[in-house]
């Protein structure tokens, strides 16, 4: 089975006609219910993250800034990022859902969890909102795995079409987290160079795989497999986290990298095989991008099918 985290509060992060809007989750749930996948997963209630949990990644003044903007009726802390009156509540629930998933996986309740959350997080910096993101859900979950669940070495794979700059920054000098981002270049946010490998104790634990928009799908998958077989296997992680963005889908209106829904199923099976070989370690997948209301649900379905196969 796979633990599934979702909360209607995520729909109240009101961004209007912005590409990152509530319909992304509405349409995804409809499709998962229609295909029977929603019923095959095990629901796990989301909860609010505490300020201590968010504060492991984000500065307290920044947390208060987002709270204040929401309480004052909303605004735009970043040119691409919207805060509505319920956005702070949705963001702390999204981060808390990922922490709840980490706790359940560490306790052995299941081997996989999928957090269908919004707002997304992998661009969020310790001191600033960025790129549709408020709090860095996957980084907060990784810190929670370590601080509250006792899992010391973690592997984060980010296959969103955009570089996970916020997650990279969170762990750039932290040798206990191996972070790998495969992303389109040249593209937003303009970071993620192959030579960026970490700093100090984290030297060698950042892996950036910049790829061009015309990369063949087989080559894309091969680049991920090489990372899994090489540095990720050598790292011996005790849990795997996926920043599961689906904007590498071929017809995504914001991204696009030639991938079809079945390719995300293949990617998931690659990660599941890696997790088995690493000692049946748990996998926590966290929704990031993906803005095609037709493609996103089908990509998530293929991903969830792959997670459900981890038995």
Q: Residue 18 catalytic?
A: no
Q: What is the pLDDT of residues 143-167, one digit of tens each?
A: 999 999 999 999 999 999 999 999 9
Query: Shortest CA distance to 115 belongs to which of 85, 130, 135, 86?
Result: 135
pTM more than 0.95: yes
228, 274 Cβ separation under 8 angstroms: yes
Find the catalytic residue in 58, 123, 162, 163.
Answer: 123
Q: What is the pLDDT of residues 185-211, one digit of tens each?
A: 999 999 999 999 999 999 999 999 999
Q: What is the pLDDT of residues 266-311, one digit of tens each?
A: 999 999 999 999 999 999 999 999 999 999 999 999 999 999 999 7
Q: Which two tokens stand for residue 240?
A: 């795997």
80, 131 Cβ separation under 8 angstroms: yes
Q: What is the pLDDT of residues 122-139, one digit of tens each?
A: 999 999 999 999 999 999
Give the CATH class of 3-8+18-45+104-120+136-308.
alpha beta
């Amino acid at each position: 089975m796979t633990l599934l985290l979702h909360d209607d509060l995520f729909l109240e992060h009101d961004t209007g006609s912005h590409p990152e809007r509530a319909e992304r989750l509405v349409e995804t749930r409809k499709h998962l219910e229609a295909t029977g996948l929603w019923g095959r997963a095990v629901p796990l209630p989301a909860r609010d993250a505490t300020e201590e949990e968010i504060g492991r990644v984000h500065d307290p003044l920044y947390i208060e800034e987002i709270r204040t903007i929401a309480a004052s009726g909303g605004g735009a802390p970043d040119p691409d990022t919207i805060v509505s009156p319920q956005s702070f509540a949705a963001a702390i629930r999204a981060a808390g859902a990922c922490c709840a998933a980490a706790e359940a996986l560490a306790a052995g309740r299941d081997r996989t969890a999928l957090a269908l959350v919004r707002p997304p997080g992998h661009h969020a910096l310790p001191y600033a909102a960025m790129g549709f993101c408020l709090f860095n859900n996957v980084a907060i979950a990784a810190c929670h795995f370590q601080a509250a669940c006792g899992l010391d070495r973690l592997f984060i794979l980010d296959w969103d079409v955009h570089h996970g700059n916020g997650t990279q920054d969170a762990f750039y000098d932290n040798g206990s987290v191996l972070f790998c981002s495969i992303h389109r270049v040249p593209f937003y946010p303009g970071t993620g160079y192959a030579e960026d490998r970490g700093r100090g104790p984290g030297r060698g634990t950042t892996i950036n795989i910049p790829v061009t928009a015309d990369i063949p799908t087989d080559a894309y998958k091969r680049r991920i497999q090489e990372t899994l077989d090489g540095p990720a296997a050598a790292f011996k992680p005790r849990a795997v986290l996926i920043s599961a963005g689906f904007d590498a889908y071929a017809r995504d209106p914001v991204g696009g990298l030639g991938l079809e829904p079945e390719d995300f199923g293949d990617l998931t099976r690659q990660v599941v095989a890696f997790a088995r070989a690493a000692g049946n370690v748990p996998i926590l997948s966290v929704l990031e991008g993906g803005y095609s209301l037709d493609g996103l649900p089908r990509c998530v379905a293929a991903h969830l099918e792959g997670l459900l196969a981890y038995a």
